[in-house]
Structure 1
Amino acid sequence: MSARLCSVEEVTHQAYEIFQQLAPENLSEQDIEQFNLHHEDYGFIEDSEPDESWQELVALEIEPEHFVQVLVGIEYEDGDEVLAKILISRDIDAPFCHVLWKQSESE
């Protein structure tokens, strides 16, 4: 039986909702303030095939058609600032999400 998969758009939206819910616990107040100030004009949410770095971080076999990598951040003139890198499952029957948060300068 093949997996029942959500669309890439649906899981990208889910990943952004997860970002919004968990950001206050995982990002600095300054990062949240900057994102809130600039997300309308310079914020980005990009989906792509998961990169190879996830395989070392999660104990799952990452099949590219079953997972999406979502980056949430802000575009600046001198480069992008990624606030969260999210791996999320498209499989309706096997939900999974893992977030790598931007590390604060003091860490």
Structure 2
Amino acid sequence: MAGPRLYSEEEVTHQAYDIFLELAPDNLSEQDINDFNEHREELGFIEESEPDDQWQDFVALEIEPELFVQVLVGLEFDNQDILFAKILISRDKDAPFCHILWKDSE
């Protein structure tokens, strides 16, 4: 039996970023959006990694590291990073899933 059909980490990171851009106006303050838009070219980061343990507090499914990617979207300043969204997204083409923890919602 073949395994699940998976998006590459790069593909799924792009999807997560597109979802972030689409939903940000409904979930971030106007100030956050202005800061992000003003600084994203030079200070913005999109970082993917294996999902951390925090997700188990928010989603009721088993998170298999090979099937999910955690994507962080934020700005990197000299004195501190501002994290706007922490995204859990599925790589499985047949089981789409995305959950976002927004800044100030944690």
Under TM normalisation by the shorter chain, which class is it? over 0.9
Q: Distance in 2 between matches of 1:68 and 1:81?
A: 20
Q: How do residues 12-23 of structure 1 correspond to structure 2 at under 5 angstroms?
A: 12-23=13-24
| Match in the other structure for 1:86 | 87
The one-letter code sitting in structure 2 at the alignment partner of 1:93 is D
List alignment gaps of at least 5 residues for structure 2.
none
Q: Distance in 2 between matches of 1:63 and 1:13?
A: 20
Q: CA shift at 1:103, angstroms? A: 1.1
Q: Percent identity?
A: 70
Q: Distance in 2 between matches of 1:55 and 1:5?
A: 22
Q: In the alignment, does 2:34 pair up with 1:70?
A: no
| Match in the other structure for 1:5 | 6
The one-letter code sitting in structure 1 at the alignment partner of 2:4 is A
The count of residues paired between Structure 1 and Structure 2 equals 104
Q: Which runs of 4+ in 1 moved over 4 A?
A: none
> SS where residue 89 of structure 2 aligns?
strand
Q: Distance in 1 between matches of 2:104 and 2:81?
A: 15
| Match in the other structure for 2:32 | 31
**Post-superposition CA distance 1:25-44 (Å, at most 9, x none):** 00000000000000000000
| Match in the other structure for 2:47 | 46
Q: Distance in 1 between matches of 2:29 and 2:56?
A: 27
TM-score scaled by length of structure 2: 0.96
| Match in the other structure for 2:97 | 96
